[in-house]
Structure 1
């Protein structure tokens, strides 16, 4: 990851993130090379130099954006969500590690992985992007909790414009790369589903689960959606049904004899060939039993933090195939053109009103508010996804 701060070095204090620290271009420091003059844009970012609890390690920093070169672009961020993976990365608990950029005696990374930006300037050699284009990050770990960025055009993925693009919200675009893409790829890549086929999934009320429901409905697929039992279960059933869920059941109902018979009657002889698991544990094992011969069971999360036990009968007699899926890994292995085609499909669904904006709440771009919001990043989902608006 190329950080915005790379043309600068701190002089004086050892605390790199205090607003009173003095930063100068590298060319003004004896013996330093690689000078790039600054632009007239003052940027700000939430950065960290060590792993730990976000409120303790995140720091606010303001600086001048490096000047545009013939081979770089400048972008301005419009919105960026706070996802659990962002928090895990700051804690050092995520499989992908950020790149810490050397700055004098210090190394820093910018927080955030997902977000929407607008291209505000392009170098004369850049042909793939132009001023006014909207982009998302080309890979995980770039750092999106900042007002501006300067980097290679390869750091950014162009978002296509589709029919009725004006009907797609800023929030939808800012949250497109994780949850909708995860749902889209799992529905598309493992089984050649036909209209009328069933998909069974747990964590159906999660952001990915809701995207699965909506995309499946748009593609004329039917869904059996498993959720945890709760006090407001009837309200939850109705909300998922309104999104397009065919059936909603609780994890307790999966294993009960009386409800098993009813669930199997929904798909008669045509058992689901695709199961999507984000929970793990006993209920996830029970869900796998509903798959038909040669079905595919895809695990993309482990919310219960319990292992997934696989009955030998599913492997031997049903030949069920078990897979793992991680959208970041998919993005690494596919070209910008393939990603562009996926975004085009998803944005078209959004423009048609078939994939709704997620429930969300605004986070103000200021240091203390950001620290509090990120600390709530794993547990604070009751009122919707937290999104920074710049």
Structure 2
């Protein structure tokens, strides 16, 4: 193993609250980048020196070495930055699938999302910008809000507004400039998610992929009745498991994302690199608010 992020889902798995749990004793970590050292005599898909990432959750990436089957990993190009490769399989893939699988988005369309400063949110901004799609990005107010807005706009965000602004009349003026959203992406839940529904186009879709507020989402009847808004969920782990029979589909997605990285259209999230032996620092930091992604560096 070369590097392995510490994601909130990894913490949930340790706590025993995640949707899938490995049999114990288990090794933590669901995402990471490894370099192949040796292969069996019948293995031809990978060779020593190749970079690989796990296909499924529960691989156990928080270790220095692993022995696995060839079908447990897929290749990732070695000509992209190490941190991009180590963080490509969860958040960028989640963003990619949500933008591709829930309706047909075309250049000039609009997507609205909360939690826009999250790793998935940043990936959504960049992938959408590459597709010519406008993004309205909702963030929580904070002392350095201007700095955060500037950062997200530098990634390609069309608009960055606070949760408070979302509820103000000035939103009407915004939709004189761009189309109303055909797609909403929700990782927060609670009233923040309910407020997104007010601004969506008729027949649009809201996809929930997280619930950071740990509160139920209100569903206004008028949004369902008069706007015919579709409400659904997405979980990257389940998508991968549904497509295990066709690893080419997963590999194609990773290669397309890697090409965006090469072209400078998709960068790795801001990461704090932590030596593997200091793993406790990474675990503790990941459980705090306003935390950058921590990545365990094995070498």
Aligned partner of 1:153 in structure 2 is: 70
Larger Rg: 1
Of 322-331 and 229-238, more deviation after overlay is shown by 229-238
Aligned partner of 2:19 in structure 1 is: 95
Aligned partner of 1:23 in structure 2 is: none
Aligned partner of 2:240 in structure 1 is: 331
Q: How many angstroms apart in 2 are the aligned matches of 1:240 and 1:380?
A: 18
Task: For residue 152 of structure 1, report the CA deviation from its aligned partner.
Answer: 1.2
Structure 1 unaligned blocks of 5 or more: 1-76, 101-107
1:151 is paired with a residue whose SS is: coil
Task: For residue 378 of structure 1, report the CA deviation from its aligned partner.
Answer: 1.9
Q: 84, 91, 110: which one pairs with 1:198?
A: 110
Q: Which has the higher helix share?
A: 2
Paired residues of 1:83 and 1:378 also in contact (CA < 8 A): no
Aligned partner of 1:209 in structure 2 is: 121
1:173 is paired with a residue whose SS is: helix
Q: Tell me the alpha carbon deviations over residues 121-154 of structure 1, each in whole angstroms, 9 at most, x when there is no partner.
A: 1111122222222111111001001111112112
- Give the aligned length: 296
1:265 is paired with a residue whose SS is: coil
1:223 is paired with a residue whose SS is: strand
Aligned partner of 1:172 in structure 2 is: 84
2:253 matches 1:342:
yes
Q: How many angstroms apart in 2 are the aligned matches of 1:376 and 1:280?
A: 23
Q: How many angstroms apart in 1 are the aligned matches of 2:158 and 2:59?
A: 38
2:164 is paired with a residue whose SS is: helix
Q: 288, 313, 319: which one pairs with 2:228?
A: 319
Q: Which has the higher strand share?
A: 1
Structure 2 unaligned blocks of 5 or more: none
Task: For residue 310 of structure 1, report the CA deviation from its aligned partner.
Answer: 0.8
Find runs of 4+ consecutive structure 1 residues off by over 3 angstroms. Answer: none
Q: TM-score, normalised by structure 2?
A: 0.95
Give the alignment of 1:238-277 within 5 angstroms. Answer: 238-257=150-169, 259-267=170-178, 270-277=179-186
Give the alignment of 1:224-303 within 5 angstroms. Answer: 224-257=136-169, 259-267=170-178, 270-303=179-212
Relative contact order: is structure 1 or structure 2 higher (C-alpha 8 Å, sep ≥ 6)? 2
Paired residues of 1:300 and 1:324 also in contact (CA < 8 A): yes
Q: CA distance change for structure 1 residues 376 and 123 in 2, over 3 Å: closer, same or farther? A: same
Task: For residue 354 of structure 1, report the CA deviation from its aligned partner.
Answer: 0.5
Q: How many angstroms apart in 1 are the aligned matches of 2:104 and 2:87?
A: 27
Q: How many angstroms apart in 2 are the aligned matches of 1:178 and 1:151?
A: 20
Paired residues of 2:107 and 2:132 also in contact (CA < 8 A): yes
Aligned partner of 2:95 in structure 1 is: 183
Coordinate RMSD, CA, aligned? 1.3
Paired residues of 2:33 and 2:51 also in contact (CA < 8 A): yes
Task: For residue 375 of structure 1, report the CA deviation from its aligned partner.
Answer: 2.8
Q: How many angstroms apart in 2 are the aligned matches of 1:121 and 1:137?
A: 16
Give the alignment of 1:359-374 within 5 angstroms. Answer: 359-366=270-277, 369-374=278-283
Aligned partner of 1:22 in structure 2 is: none
1:372 is paired with a residue whose SS is: helix
Q: 346, 355, 359: which one pairs with 2:266?
A: 355
Q: CA distance change for structure 1 residues 211 and 250 in 2, over 3 Å: closer, same or farther? A: same
